[in-house]
Amino acid sequence: MPHCTNCGNTKTLASTLVPVNTPTANPPPYGLLANFDEDGSIDTMECQGADLDDAQKAFERPELYFNACPVCGSCDILWHV
């Protein structure tokens, strides 16, 4: 199960690898977010900049994509595989 070593968040992680592609004045800070269930599997994903190919790759290998905590901003994510 992934978790942020700074704040302990295990529910939502973000990707700094996917740029935000939302044409608004106040875009979201991350292009891809994932919500995880109690087992550490992706429950849902929010794509604000990822195309379907990137989203599929992130779903298949989340430990390579989700590297930031949207709660505290830390990039110190620990993955237990």
Kindly report, residue by residue over 29-53, the tens digit of the pLDDT: 788 899 999 999 999 998 887 788 8
What tokens appear for 53 in the block? 């190919």
The pLDDT assigned to 27 comes to 66
Give the pTM: 0.85
Q: How confident is the model at residue 81 (pLDDT cuts 50, 70, 90)?
A: low
| Domain coordinates in residue numbering, the chain | 3-22+29-78
Q: How confident is the model at residue 64 (pLDDT cuts 50, 70, 90)?
A: very high
Q: For residues 2 and 15, what is the distance between their CA atoms, to the nearest angstrom? A: 13
